[in-house]
């Protein structure tokens, strides 16, 4: 064991402790798969990442660093909030990108590009390519039962795969999303991670009112400054990998945006809220550029720095 630089970053928030934390080990050379997995179980965060040097081939292709991403239950080829959080930790530790306006991350799905977001001091990652398919009636029946959903409350359903695999459900209202009280043991038995979302009314005054109503569901008081208004309310249930509910989920929001934008159900730019029921105020900014690429952005804040013995 040796002392390694460690940091914990809160993602999709500009106020510490109101987003989704990721643990980052900045010097991970020499760590075995088993040591990484054991530490990820110990942190009990939804993800823990380990920064490594890139391969010669990846560097030639533009990569700046390599990352491995672990949940308490296993390794992921890609995840959204760990991508933003790891890039933040790498930059803060003095990492210098080959291109000053881009960061290129090497991970299990290949190379992922990050760019500066339109939000001040925020970055966004390019959503990996999405694969979609229709769920079966049996899958939907079991998931509806576990969530306590009436089928009439579900507008659309789709399997979404951009590295992580989610079953996405578009529900009839944000109130339905926020009122869900899942049977997590039953959800785990389905083997599926489930993301649920619902659109807020497009009228600005009603959006503000809906956000006030949404925050009333939270278990804790809202922050002193009101969060950015949202167009979509999202929750992520991942008992299948040991996380009953994830506070704010980049990969899910990426795949939801790719699906909903492609089907004309959301505009090419919107803001998603997540974590409301958990007392968080996560905000994810989704933007589709002229080429059709979806970018997933948000703020990141350092909460813990120090050393860890691994």
For 51-67, how does the pLDDT look when each residue is reduced to its tens digit (9 = 90+)? 999 989 999 999 999 99
- Do residue 108 and residue 139 come from a single domain? no
Q: What per-residue confidence (pLDDT) applies to 202? A: 58
Please determine, for residue 205, whether its predicted confidence score (pLDDT) is greater than 80.
no
- Do residue 237 and residue 303 come from a single domain? no
- Do residue 157 and residue 41 come from a single domain? no
Mean pLDDT of 27-45: 96
Mean pLDDT of 79-108: 95
Q: What per-residue confidence (pLDDT) applies to 224? A: 43
For 40, 100, 162, 215, 232, the CA distances from 276, given in Å and listed in that order, are 25, 35, 25, 6, 12
What are φ and ψ of residue 280, in 5° steps?
Answer: -100, 165
Least confident piece of the model among 215-229, 232-246, 271-285: 215-229
E strand or H helix at 99: none
- Do residue 215 and residue 71 come from a single domain? no
Q: What per-residue confidence (pLDDT) applies to 227? A: 57
- Do residue 150 and residue 177 come from a single domain? yes
Total structural domains within the chain: 2
- Do residue 138 and residue 45 come from a single domain? no
For residue 38, what pLDDT band results from cuts at 50, 70 and 90?
A: very high
Please determine, for residue 68, whether its predicted confidence score (pLDDT) is greater than 50.
yes
Q: What per-residue confidence (pLDDT) applies to 291? A: 97
Q: What per-residue confidence (pLDDT) applies to 171? A: 98
This prediction has a pTM of 0.88
The CATH number covering residue 73 comes to 3.10.310.10
Mean pLDDT of 217-233: 62
Question: Per residue in 257-309, pLDDT tens?
Answer: 999 999 999 999 999 999 999 999 999 999 999 999 999 999 999 999 999 99
Mean pLDDT of 17-41: 97
With contact defined as beta carbons under 8 Å apart, do 83 and 114 qualify?
A: yes
Q: What per-residue confidence (pLDDT) applies to 241? A: 86
For residue 228, what pLDDT band results from cuts at 50, 70 and 90?
A: low
Identify the domain containing residue 152 by its residue range: 131-289
* DSSP for residue 18: S
């Amino acid at each position: 064991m040796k002392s390694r630089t460690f940091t914990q970053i809160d993602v999709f928030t500009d106020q510490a402790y109101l987003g989704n934390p990721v643990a980052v080990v900045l010097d991970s050379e020499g760590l075995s798969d088993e040591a990484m997995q054991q530490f990820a179980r110990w942190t009990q965060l939804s993800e823990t990442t380990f920064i490594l040097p890139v391969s010669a081939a990846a560097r030639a292709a533009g990569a700046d660093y390599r990352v491995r991403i672990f949940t308490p239950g296993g390794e992921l080829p890609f995840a959204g909030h760990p991508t933003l959080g790891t890039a933040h930790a790498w930059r803060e530790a003095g990492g210098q990108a080959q291109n000053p306006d881009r960061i290129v991350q090497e991970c299990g799905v290949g190379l992922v590009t990050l760019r500066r977001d339109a939000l001040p001091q925020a970055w966004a990652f390019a959503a990996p390519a999405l694969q979609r398919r229709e769920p079966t009636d049996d899958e939907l029946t079991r998931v509806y039962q576990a969530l306590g959903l009436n089928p009439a409350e579900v507008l659309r359903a789709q399997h979404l795969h951009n590295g992580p695999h989610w079953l996405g459900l578009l529900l009839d209202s944000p109130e339905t999303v926020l009122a869900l009280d899942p049977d997590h043991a039953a959800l785990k038995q389905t083997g599926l991670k489930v993301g649920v979302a619902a659109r807020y009314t497009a009228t600005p005054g009603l959006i503000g009112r809906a956000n006030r109503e949404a925050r009333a569901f939270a278990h804790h008081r809202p922050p002193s400054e009101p969060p950015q208004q949202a167009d979509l309310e999202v929750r992520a249930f991942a008992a299948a990998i040991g996380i009953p509910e994830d506070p704010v989920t980049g990969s899910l929001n990426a795949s939801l945006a790719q699906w909903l934008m492609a089907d004309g159900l959301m505009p090419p730019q919107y803001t998603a809220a997540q974590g409301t029921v958990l007392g968080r105020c996560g905000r994810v900014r989704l933007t589709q550029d002229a080429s059709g690429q979806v970018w997933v952005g948000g703020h990141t804040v350092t909460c813990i720095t120090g050393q860890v013995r691994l």
